[in-house]
Amino acid sequence: MSNESFPQMITCLPEADIPLSGVRAWISQSRDHQVAFFDIDPIDAIPPHTHGEQWGVVVEGEMELTIGGKTKRYAQGDSYHIPSGIEHGAKFLSHFRAIDVFADADRYRVKD
């Protein structure tokens, strides 16, 4: 694991307004979807929630992701898909970076 952060070309993008300690993301916005570059400390868990379709790939670290009641561990290079409306939550086991694509163009707001 590198424990690096994303390059400046990513961190100069608008930062997402995420009210969870230890979670940061930068947004690349499109008219019909949103891409988020996540940088997450090893935090206990993101509570179960739902939203539109999501696809992601792990850049660094490990997480346990529960999708529709089934839990699986994901590490560098693994990808995951969460269908629209399916409950999911995650636990981050180490410093974690991922790139996620959301079908919802308004999944995250820009931080003020």
| pLDDT tens column, 39-80 | 999 988 899 999 999 999 999 999 999 999 999 999 999 999
Question: Could you tell me if residue 41 is inside a domain?
Answer: yes
If DSSP states are collapsed to H, E and C, what string results for the chain? Answer: CCCCCCCHHHHCCCEECCCCCCEEEEEEECCCCEEEEEEECCCCCEEEECCCCEEEEEEECEEEEEECCEEEEEECCCEEEECCCCCEEEEECCCEEEEEEECCCCCCCECC
| pLDDT tens column, 25-49 | 999 999 999 999 999 999 888 999 9
Across residues 92-109, what is the average pLDDT? 96
Number of domains in the chain: 1
Question: Could you tell me if residue 109 is inside a domain?
Answer: no
CATH number, residue 88: 2.60.120.10
- Residue 43 or residue 81, greater confidence: 81
The whole domain housing 20 covers 8-102
Predicted TM-score (pTM) of the model is: 0.93
Question: Could you tell me if residue 47 is inside a domain?
Answer: yes
Question: Could you tell me if residue 2 is inside a domain?
Answer: no
